[in-house]
Amino acid sequence: MSEPQPPERPEVPGERPDAQGERRHLPGERPSVSGESRAPEDGAVAATGMGGAMDLGAAEAETLEQEPREPEPAGRDERARSLWSDAWRDLRRNPVFILSALVILFLVVISLWPSLIASGNPLRCDLAKAQDGAEPGHPFGYNGQGCDVYTRTVYGARASVTVGVCATLGVALLGSVLGGLAGFFGGKWDAVLSRATDIFFAIPVVLGGLVLLSVITSSTVWPVVGFIVLLGWPQISRIARGSVITAKQHDYVQAARALGASPSRILLRHIAPNAVAPVIVVATIALGTYIALEATLSYLGVGLKPPSVSWGIDISSASPYVRNAPHALLWPSGALAVTVLAFIMLGDAVRDALDPKLR
């Protein structure tokens, strides 16, 4: 009686029979398990219903099986950056900017609220203590009229900072408007403005102040502010004109003009934001110069006049007594020098941050 033969297995693609009739898998294949669907491995050929073949690697199959990932949100460093954001980032890391900004902040605070650190009256004087040195409650001593030098030095910051800030705002506004219009429209307007700036540049600042301010008897800061604006706008105008001429040659301005944008929109929306940086730099540096100019005019007797309290007035009144009471000249002069230096250092830091050539 013949022994029953085991049922033959159907041929499976990828297998070959051995000498004993058993199916042996090709190298790199794993044997199939009953009930388990076999997926084509790397380099295998899968039959298709269209009568062709498709090579599908394991790595590619895994990639296709993965679900699409959502795009990760852009990080803080990948966001669009502008000139102003880059400048602010550089300024925060600049110790010169931080130091000058702290000094200027302190000056602004004592200009607004001088009584925070000085409780005396700057106009109260005692001739019996004229030219006396420091004593408790009066660390800077007394000047030639017996006034407290510390109190007058603190209160003198108000006039100097007010003149510097107001004059700078007026000069920047007037010069930017006139220079921007001349650079944008050109033609006769540009030629007239250029000749006008040449005339104002020819006027000596100190001599002009002696002539114009000598006929004014007001003791307020506004005549000095008006004089500085009158003779200071040509410098800002030249800077603004050149910056606008450079900006209007850029491609984005030409594109806006081709799309039919009005001249006012082109000037205000496209040119002005990109041409204001040089004006800010020059105006910041000029602010310290205007404070020094106010002190010079007050020293000469044509700027601020008593009973106003100003560093220039105190320096002028202390000059005759420099040998007997040098402290009366030292403290207001030192305050003036520190203030001017702080604004100049601030302007230099802003210039370095806004200049793309220095990056």
The DSSP result for 215-233, as a single string, is: T----SSHHHHHHHHHHHH
Whole domain around residue 278: which residue ranges? 99-358
Best CA proximity match to 346, nearest among 24, 175, 101, 42: 101
Per DSSP, the residues of 256-302 read: HHHTT--HHHIIIIIIHHHHSHHHHHHHHHHHHHHHHHHHHHHHTTS
325-350 pLDDT, tens digit per residue, is: 999 999 999 999 999 999 999 988 98
Per DSSP, the residues of 178-200 read: HHHHHHHH-HHHHHHHHHHHHHH
pLDDT band at 90 (very low <50, low <70, confident <90, very high): confident
Q: What is the mean pLDDT of residues 175-192?
A: 90
Q: Does 46 fall in a domain?
A: no
Q: How far apart are CA 160 and CA 309, in angstroms?
A: 9
How many residues does this entry show for the chain?
A: 359
Q: What are the angstrom distances between the C-alpha of 205 and each of 197, 209, 227, 318?
A: 14, 6, 9, 25
Per DSSP, the residues of 29-40 read: -----TT-PPPP
Q: Does 78 fall in a domain?
A: no
Three-state DSSP class for 16?
strand
205-250 pLDDT, tens digit per residue, is: 999 999 999 888 888 899 999 999 999 999 999 999 999 999 888 8
Q: Does 56 fall in a domain?
A: no
Question: How many C-beta neighbours within 10 Å does residue 341 have?
Answer: 13
Angle between the 222-247 and 277-299 helix axes, to the nearest 10 degrees?
Answer: 160
Per DSSP, the residues of 58-117 read: HHHHHHHHSPPPPPPPP-GGGS---HHHHHHHHHHT-HHHHHHHHHHHHHHHHHH-GGGT
Which has the higher per-residue pLDDT, 145 or 27? Answer: 145
Q: How far apart are CA 262 and CA 271, in angstroms?
A: 12
Find out whether 233 and 171 touch, Cβ atoms under 8 Å: yes
Q: What are the angstrom distances between the C-alpha of 12 and each of 16, 24, 181?
A: 8, 11, 86
Q: How far apart are CA 322 and CA 239, in angstroms?
A: 42
Q: Does 346 fall in a domain?
A: yes
Q: Does 269 fall in a domain?
A: yes
pTM over 0.75: no
pLDDT at 5 over 50: yes
Structurally, how many domains does the chain consist of? 1
Structure token digits, residue 172: 């920047």
pLDDT at 4 over 70: no
CATH code, domain carrying 258: 1.10.3720.10
pLDDT value of residue 6: 56
43-52 pLDDT, tens digit per residue, is: 444 444 444 4
Q: Does 219 fall in a domain?
A: yes
Q: How far apart are CA 150 and CA 137, in angstroms?
A: 9
Q: Does 165 fall in a domain?
A: yes
Q: Does 44 fall in a domain?
A: no
Which has the higher per-residue pLDDT, 219 or 24? Answer: 219
